Structure 1
Amino acid sequence: MASIDAETKAVEKINDTSATSAPVSDSENGASSPEIMAASDIYIDPVEEKKALRKFDMIVLPQAFIFILLNYLDRSNIGNAKVFGFATDLNLKGNQFGNISTLFYVPYILLETPWVMAVKYYGPNKVLAVALICWSIVTISTGFIHTYGQAVAVRMLLGVCEAGVAPGFAFIFSTIWDRKDTAKRVALIYFANVMSGAFGGLFAYGIQSMGARRGIAAWRWLFIIEGAVSLFVCGGCWFSFPNSPENAWFLNAREKEIMALRKRRDVAYKGDDEFSWKWAKLACTDPFIYAASLSFFCSSVAIFGFGTFLPTIIKGLGFNDLQANYLTIPVYMLGGLNLCVCAYFSDKTQNRGIFLFTMPIPVIVGYIIAAASPVPGVGYFGMFICCCGIYTFNALILTWVTINLQPDYKRSVGVPFFVSLGNLSGLVASQLYPSSQAPRYVMGNAVSAGMETLAVIIVVGAWWILRRRNQLKEKLIAEGVTDNGLEGDMALDFKYAI
């Protein structure tokens, strides 16, 4: 709110001077006048541009989907492992399983921003490949642990390796596609999350049916096999993932030229390649990011609990271990379908607010049903309703933040900073389903419903911040002002997507 007041005062100050006051110097706005003028004169054939971007859709998106799918699969499989022996074999007591899940988020939260800044500085194919290979090795190692302390150690190492994956891909997508087409691509991150739940349940069902082999328990095989698959698949990232849009190996010479021209044309939105700490400062002091993060935090309490404990929740509704794993599959499939539909129409209509305001409603209803009804079938139905909105809201709010930050360096700090603040919810969510609350876990479901309610209230406040900023800019433009003396997305020529 203080920032909004400051902006209002800035408007008043400008109004006191001439509406045609001199613009700020080139050194202040981060780009030289020749660059700006050159960018405004650039013309790119839309047919050729669309053809080049289609190659990214065909080559980059499938790889990104596989990487993110395996990332979430190797993270959430601990929930599947729990229902067939993980906690018993490690002799976990009290809420030690919840502690294992909680401590994963400590390094995960701390390292998200450094990982994404490294992606911007060194390129995605180098940075993400290191992360992907390392987390695969840690996942395999989890199949050989025997104590609570070892479980804590491997989960914290997993948090170190996986910290930059989701925000890193959100940032990468924003450097390739335009703002109006971003939601469908960022939704891929959460679609992979949903599908990891479905495939995770299916894979866990197969491993559980297999039973112990060669003296190794089924839950251990779950980590070993999934980690090995990730290591094999992700090893190709070194060679197949492009390091920058304008130098992608699958583009021909003309298409590379087009992507380079797009970079020059979009310099006002994406910025140049010269890093400045001022962008980090602006990202970390933007009240919009804090408001959106608080909403993301509340909704993520529900989503982390859902993803980690869904098999446990279903088992608590009265189903056996085997059923608890395969019954997660149709729940996730419905959630994935709803996510794709909403992401498509969010981009098509360019209306973000209506989806952000409505998607928490099925989450709230679903959790209330699960908390209130002792009937297994009714509680299971509640999980279907819940999944219709739980991933969609998080995907769209991440998109919303990503497309409303400029330039790239502010985005490379602001997006993971936003995600890090939201992921603090992992420290809370992992404590919501202690074994003492079995079988119905009323507390966890009720708290998740309450937090989702707060999420929709707070997102309205974040929406108001952007709406107010747009109104102030429109007022200045109507009065003939050509420069408000601010930079990045706060500059006069940037309109926030609401």
Structure 2
Amino acid sequence: MSELKHPSDEEDVKRHAAANGASHDVPPPYDAASTSGEVVCPPHTTERKITTRIDMYIIPFVSILYLMAFLDRVNIGNARAFGLEDELGLGGVEYNTALTIFFVPYIICEIPSNILMKHFSPRVWLSLCCIGFGAVTVFQGLVRSYGGLLTTRFFLGLFESAMFPGCFYLLSTWYRRHEAQKRFSLFFSSTSLAGAFGGLLASGIGKMDYVRDYRGWRWIFIIEGSFTVVLGVIFLFTFPSFPEQATWLRDDEREFVKARLRASQGESGAERKITLRDVRTVMSDYKIWLGAFMYFGLIVPAYSYAYFAPTIIQSYKYDAITTQLRSVPPWVVSFGFSMVVAVFSDWAKHRFLFVIGSISIAIAGFAILINVHDNLQVQYAALFLTCMGTYAAMPVIVCWFNMNLAGHHRRAIGSAWQIGFGNIGGIISTYSFVKSDGPFFTKGYAICVSFICLSIVASILYAAAITWENKKRSKQVHDLNLTESEKMDLGDMNPEFRYML
């Protein structure tokens, strides 16, 4: 596997000056691969500058998009604190069922959505879906019955099924494996920002109670959904696509980006159509299932916290406005901790121990919540630990798994499967915290710990599997005379590919 050459800025200036001395009109010839097999940066720029441009063009778009998606998904928890259940006459577990119905299309449609995104391009597909779930959120604020709430939640799940796997798929096509975690965590941490922003926004919007005869919970959906629709229209003209479609890069820069990705991950096969045979082949790999269970185990505590944090905090006898404000700090701290974990994980070029360490923090938080019921300060501090640990481990798991998949077809299918299967845990989380279990919610906390332990077991098995696979491949003959097409079809199953631990 070829190594990347990182020319210094000084060397590039010299090369650029020499090129200008030779000719002011004709740029020097450029080939992504030198005769020595190294990947060489175009002479007019540096690799760091190109990577920074990619960051500035990709990360803000996907982060803002998913921030709005997650906000529109979980703001029902904020709306609940402002009287949604009372006005719609919800009783028993009807609120929990409204949460559950979201996950039915969300789970089923994720693999088809990634296939459609590859066909239409991320700019078109993700932007249209953004407009769709924004409009549905507005309608959610206009419903008059339980049936209307169920209908809007179903279509919200349908449109949002494109967001999470689609954005992770897009990110994985731009970055090499050892530099991806910071970007994955920054994107994923938009969920933490959404949680914090949602609490602040709800505390303000909630004061619009009875404006134009609408309760405050309706304005939460209407205002946030309207903003999302406007954002989706803007994204339809500005959202980024795959490297092969990046018109904002020069031809030589685009070729360099593709070459550095090939050196890290192998052939992408971007032009290759995904077939049912590809789906069957990918799904027959046991590591794909382990990756799904790693994520599945953390989805239960993640959505439990996202949906029910306002309910838990309100059980500490705070009023509606104070509840929203108290929900903000754990999300903010979680964002900072997530980025610290990501930076050190990329620096160490390692994922497994960072997953286990973060998960352990989440378990400590839930253990406190199960056992402490008479100290509000300790209980509130435990919410920080659960949020920090869960939301720091999840992006590491997703990045670890995605960047160990090579080729567009394996990554499109594998990433969507991990997210789709994992979100079955979202259904479990919606029934983990029911009103009758308050104010201690011991059963809900115990369920979260159980599924976190499942994630730990799956992570250990996945780490053992890829370690064994790497050792086996290191003993094989490297020159297998495979064609580029055969390497592309094999993806990470190519004997020359090495998994990242």
Contact 2:165/2:416 (CA < 8 Å) preserved in 1?
A: yes
Supply the distance in 1 between the matched residues of 2:359 and 2:164 (Cα, whole angstroms): 21
Partner of 1:408: 408
Structure 1 gaps of 5+ residues are 1-35
Cα distance in 2 between the residues matched to 1:269 and 1:255 = 17
> Which piece of structure 1 moves more, 220-229 or 180-189?
180-189
Shift of 1:367: 1.2
Residue 366 of structure 1 pairs with residue 365 of structure 2: yes
Q: SS of the counterpart of 1:137?
A: helix
Aligned to 1:424: 424
Q: Is the 8 A contact 1:145 1:151 kept in 2?
A: yes
Partner of 2:39: 43
1:386 CA displacement: 1.1
Return the match for 1:103 from 101, 104, 108. 101
Give the superposition deviation at 1:183.
1.0
The SS at the match of 1:235 is helix
Structure 2 stretches of 5 or more lacking a match? 1-31
Question: Are 1:483 and 1:491, in contact at CA under 8 Å, matched by a contact in 2?
Answer: no
Distance 1:120 1:336, change over 3 A: same
**Residue aligning to 1:490:** 493
Structure 1 residues 49-58 or 323-332, which shifts more? Answer: 49-58
* 1:315–1:324 Cα contact (<8 Å) kept: yes
1:210-249 equivalences under 5 Å are 210-249=208-247
Provide the residue aligned with 1:381 in structure 2. 381
Q: Map of 1:21-100 to 2, 5 A cutoff?
A: 41=37, 43-45=39-41, 48-100=46-98
Superposed, 1:286-325 pairs within 5 Å as 286-325=285-324
How far the C-alpha of 1:476 sits from its partner, in A, is 1.6
Aligned partner of 2:86: which letter? Answer: T
Q: Which residue of 2 aligns with 1:270?
A: 268
Equivalent residue number for residue 352 of structure 1: 351
- Write out aligned runs for 1:111-130 (5 A): 111-130=109-128
Letter of the 1:129 counterpart: S
Decide which moves more: 400-409 or 250-259: 250-259
Cα distance change, pair 111–257 in 1 and its aligned pair in 2 (3 A): same
Deviations 1:365-398 (A, max 9, x none): 1112112211222211110111121111111100
Does structure 2 conserve the Cα–Cα contact (< 8 Å) formed by 1:317 and 1:374? no
Name the CA distance, whole Å, in 2 between partners of 1:141 and 1:40.
Answer: 60
Q: How does 1:435-474 map to 2 (within 5 A)?
A: 435-474=435-474
SS at 2:475's partner residue?
Answer: helix
- TM-score normalised by length of structure 2: 0.87
CA contact (8 A) 1:42 1:261 kept: no
Q: 1: CA distance between counterparts of 2:335 and 2:466?
A: 29
- Alignment CA distance shift 1:475-1:433 (3 Å): same
Q: Partner of 2:9 in structure 1?
A: none
Q: How far apart, CA to CA, are the structure 2 residues paired with 1:338 and 1:349?
A: 17
TM-superposed deviation, 1:105: 0.1
Q: What is the TM-score with the length of structure 1 in the denominator?
A: 0.88
Residue pairs, 1:175-214, within 5 angstroms: 175-214=173-212
Shift of 1:91: 0.3
Partner of 1:166: 164
List per-residue Cα deviations over 1:349-376 (Å, max 9, x = no partner). 1011111121111111111211221122
Residues 39 and 266 in structure 1, CA contact (< 8 A), matched pair in contact too: no
- Counterpart of 1:14 in structure 2 is none
Question: Residues 212, 260 of structure 1: CA spacing in aligned structure 2 closer, same or farther, 3 A cutoff?
Answer: same
Per the TM alignment, residue 244 of structure 1 is displaced from its structure 2 partner at its CA by: 3.0
Matched-pair identity in %: 28
Instruction: Indicate conservation of the 8 Å contact 2:172/2:180, yes or no.
Output: yes
Deviation readout 1:279-298 (Å, 9 max, x if unpaired): 32222111112112112111
How far 1:50 moved relative to its partner? 3.0
Q: 1:193/1:318 Cα in 2 relative to 1: closer, same or farther (>3 Å)?
A: same
What is the CA–CA distance in structure 2 between the aligned matches of 1:192 and 1:425, rounded to whole Å?
A: 20
Amino acid at match of 1:104: F
- In 1, Cα distance between the equivalents of 2:240 and 2:379? 45
How has the CA–CA distance of structure 1 residues 276 and 402 changed in structure 2, closer, same or farther, with 3 Å as cutoff?
same
Q: Give the number of the structure with larger relative contact order, counting CA–CA contacts within 8 Å between residues 6 or more apart.
A: 1
Q: 1:269 to 1:466 in 2, by over 3 A?
A: farther
> Could you tell me which amino acid in structure 2 is paired with residue 308 of structure 1?
Y
Partner SS, residue 396 of structure 1: helix
- Please give the secondary structure, in 1, of the residue aligned with 2:266: helix
